[in-house]
Structure 1
Amino acid sequence: MPRKQDDVYGDHISHRFNDELTELKSRFLEMGGMVETQIERAIQSLVDGDSQVADEVRANDRTVDRMEMDLDEEAILIIARRQPAARDLRLVISVIKMVADLERVGDEAKKIAKMAIKLIEEGQAPRGYVEIRHIASHVQGMLHDALDAFARLDSEQALRIMKADKQVDEEYQAAARALLTFMMEDTRNISRCMSVMWVLRALERVGDHACNIAENVIFMVKGEDVRHTSMEEAERVVGG
């Protein structure tokens, strides 16, 4: 079983430093929860044809942006005040990187909401909604599991998320090919089908960002960077 996060990052002589790290982690997870909700509601607005929900998602993107800026500032202040080393420095640096991924997930939610409004105005596309629901469910699960892996410092779960990203890529490519074929057969639906294509692309990017978060969790726990490495090498790092 992985060690609990507080067991690893909560043993400093300075109680104030412990509190600062705990606050940083808590605020990161709060932002993660906000972004999860943004993706969920963006998909809801698309499937239900609800422009009010879509408008709310677009408006709430400003809150996500503010969370990113606040967390970046908090992390930089910890580095300046505490000059953390080793595992603590890995935590703070990883949070800065993962916050950027969460902000970009928020951007993808905003794009989906924008496409939802466009489709509400033009009329639903004749194809692609089944694929949207399927891929959305997959990447939402990845994002949730990535945040959970961070909360519990679970490198094995993080590795599973990295493996799941390949499946999302394959599902996206298959859905895109099917949609392109449909558009070639009936050009009257090109505009609406392109909106669906952009939604599928946005969801695929959410999976990529969840994978990036998982890679940073492994870095935090194991102290080795598994970006741009083979899956075999990542498995070695996690298993070692």
Structure 2
Amino acid sequence: MKRLSVLFACFLLISSCNKFQKEFEDQTNKLTTVKDLHHVTTGVSKMILINAGKQILLLNKSVDSLADNLYDRAIVLASETNFKEPGLRWQKFDGRLYFFNDERSVLIHRNCAKAILMSLDEPEGTRRVKIISSALSLGQASMTVLAGYGLSIMKGRWNTDKMLSRDFENAFEMLNYGFSLNGWVVPGKGPEAWAFKDPKCDSGGAGSESCTVKASNPIGGVECSVKCKTGFYACCENATTNCTCKKDPVTLN
């Protein structure tokens, strides 16, 4: 697997979108009419979007009082193939974050009057692309659609300075290594302390399309949940607070 290099802050692509402010506010008003869509941040908040190969990682700062390098919400969209969308390697911007009520799709409304939909690759996700595009009157160039088999939502606290300090195999390793809450850090110095391992299913398991866990001694976060498309099952592990989707086992008739 191609390793994700995040060694230099120069990979941050900071967009200046002030000239779109009026259009952005007009679009925000239109989003209030979209059924089953709710705003999960207070006003505009800071976000970082990272292309980690077969995962797209979104970091969101829902609390303005956090230090510049700390983010408290993480969303991972997992795919069986690498995401190839240009410009998403490490992108920092302001915007509003929305969840659909079933948490199978997440909408990022950027302050430059553009939108990114992270969704499970299923018919309902395709329908939502049309709904959002219509509500915001967006052309194809202003709407980025990212689809995958699993959508994980996590709460915790992650230090982006740590996440920029080395290479990682995937988004979950990046979150494990960058996790920082009340001075708690991952024990040990080697990769064995934070490397992503196939999680045990303390919640979820074969036949489950979703699961949720909360951890008292977390590694990757303090709470996580995941939703999976058909053909995959949800798996949530308490010890690591990792929530992922696993492919359904092949059964022979």
Question: What TM-score do the two structures reach when normalised by structure 1?
Answer: 0.26
Find the structure with the greater CA-based Rg: 1
Question: What TM-score do the two structures reach when normalised by structure 2?
Answer: 0.25
Higher strand share: 2
Higher helix share: 1
